[in-house]
Amino acid sequence: MDEKLTRVDLENRVTRLETTADKHDTQIGKLFSRVDETNRAIQKINTNMLQIKWSVYGAIAFYIITQVGIIEAFKVAL
């Protein structure tokens, strides 16, 4: 009789483990999709930062050219 109870207990435990593994599989899939979304957002931020950087460089160059003059700016650059 004890053997039959043990077998039933083991079957219940295996069933619970399978259910838990299925839940974990679903959760891991959701986490990976969130990681992908986060990576896309970071890439967009990086692109915006590069645009800002080059805009600042352009503004500085424009300021130098308008204040000093284009010929003098080339002399300074070279």
Q: pLDDT band at residue 8, thresholds of 50, 70 and 90?
A: confident
Residues 21, 15: Cα–Cα separation, whole Å:
10
Q: What is the pLDDT of residues 19-76, one digit of tens each?
A: 999 999 999 999 999 999 999 999 999 999 999 999 999 999 888 888 877 777 777 7
Q: Total structural domains in the chain?
A: 1
Alpha-carbon dihedral angle through residues 60, 62, 64, 68, given to the nearest 10 degrees: -170
pTM exceeds 0.75 for this model: no
**Residue range of the domain that includes 19:** 2-77
Query: Which one has a higher pLDDT value, 10 or 24?
Result: 24
Of residues 5 and 57, more confidently modeled: 57
